[in-house]
Homo-oligomer: A and B are copies of this chain.
Amino acid sequence: MKHIAESTVRRLSLYLRFLEDYRRQGLETISSGDLASLGGTTSAQVRKDLSFFGSFGTRGLGYSVSALSKRIREILGLEREWRVIIVGAGKIGAALAQYEGFGYRGFKIVGVYDVDQARIGQSLDGVIVKDQQELDGDLKSLKADIVLIAVPPEAAQPLVDRVTKAGIRGVLNFAPAPLHAPAGVTLRSVDMALELEILSYALAAKA
């Protein structure tokens, strides 16, 4: 398969949301134009995105909501369950652990870890916070696929090294630190302060 741009994958994920809204409304077909106006893009963009993976539509009609949902789910790897571990049960880690938006798409929180004795033992939405010393063993025994990093920035790189050594191939980081992972590991970062700075740039540029 040819390399697919991240922007395309991001949009596919959005299209899936819109498809689910349509399904909830009982609609059976959707056109590239509909998907485009919901997603703030163009119909040509939608069709091009889908065309990388095949042709799923019916000319004159559009796309079957259920068939396209299913296909996008397959493309994104969402037909399976992904087992997720959160490290750092502080403010953001706790919020993530209790976030319903993950479970809904097949991301299951199977463990939460911290160093702080005061936090260990706490229950976060059914998951008990465990001591980070148990992390290395649990990564394997719990068959974790993905680790979310919610520890202070200086603890983030050692943690990446640790979990990748244990075989983890997907990491989503929330600490504002420049991280590096070995080849074969996908590491993404969400940086909220950075998002605000981009907003700041846009606002400052206007004035």
Contact = CB atoms under 8 A, between A and B. Distances in A.
Contacts of A40: 178, 180
B91 A98 contact: yes
A190 B195 CA distance: 8
**A contact face: mostly helix, strand, loop, or mixed:** helix
A14 B194 CA distance: 8
Copies of this chain, complex-wide, total: 2
Interface string A105-130: 10100000000000000000000000
A101 B10 contact: no
B102 A193 contact: yes
B91 A176 contact: no
- Classify chain A's interface size: 35 or more
Given A101-B193, A146-B199, A201-B77, A39 B186 contact: no
A1 interface: yes
A171 B178 CA distance: 26
A191 to B, nearest CB: 8
A197 B40 CA distance: 19
A176 B131 CA distance: 32
Given A101-B192, A107-B193, A172-B192, 7 more contacts: A94-B95, A145-B203, A169-B206, A170-B200, A186-B202, A188-B195, A190-B190
